[in-house]
Amino acid sequence: MSATNVNVTITDQTIVKCTISNLTQGYIGGAELNTWYVNKNGLNSNDGSPQNPFLTIEKAIDSAQSDDVINIGVGIFSENLSINKNIVIQGSGGRLGSIDNGTYIDGDLEINTTAGNVKIKLFNLFQFATGTGLTETGGNIAYLFLNNAYFHGAPFACDRLYAVNSVVSGSSMNVTTNFIAWNSDILGSVNDPSVSVSLTDCYCSGNLTSTSNITLRTCLIAGNVSCIAKILRQENTVIVGTITAGTHTINNQDDTTKLSKTLTPDQTIASNVEFLGQASANDDTIKLFSATPTFDFDEGNDQEMPVTGNVSAFAVSNVVGSANYSVWLINDATPGRTVAAPTGSTEMASSDTHDTAANAINLYQFKTRPGGTLYHSILNI
Domain chopping of the chain, boundaries: 26-275, 285-380
Candidate ranges 8-22, 59-73, 198-212, 214-228; pick with highest mean pLDDT: 59-73
pTM (global) more than 0.75: no
Q: What's the pLDDT tens digit per position in 59-84?
A: 999 999 999 999 999 998 999 999 99
- The string of pLDDT tens digits covering residues 213-231 is 888 888 999 988 887 666 7
Give the residue among 353, 352, 359 at the shortest CA–CA distance from 337: 359
More confident residue, 43 or 371: 43
12: burial class by Cβ within 10 Å (0-12, 13-18, 19+)? exposed
pLDDT over threshold 60, residue 263: no
- Chain CA centroid to CA 308, Å: 48
**Beta-bridge partners for 364:** 327, 378
- Report which secondary-structure segment, H or E, holds 174: strand 173-182
Task: Compute CA distances 320 → 142, 217, 248, 249, 347, whole Å.
Answer: 38, 18, 16, 17, 18
Say if residue 306 is preceded by a cis peptide, omega within 30 of 0. no
The class of domain 26-275 in CATH terms is mainly beta
**Cα 307 from chain centre:** 45
Q: 284 or 14: which carries more pLDDT confidence?
A: 284
Rounded CA gap, 199 and 184, in Å?
A: 8
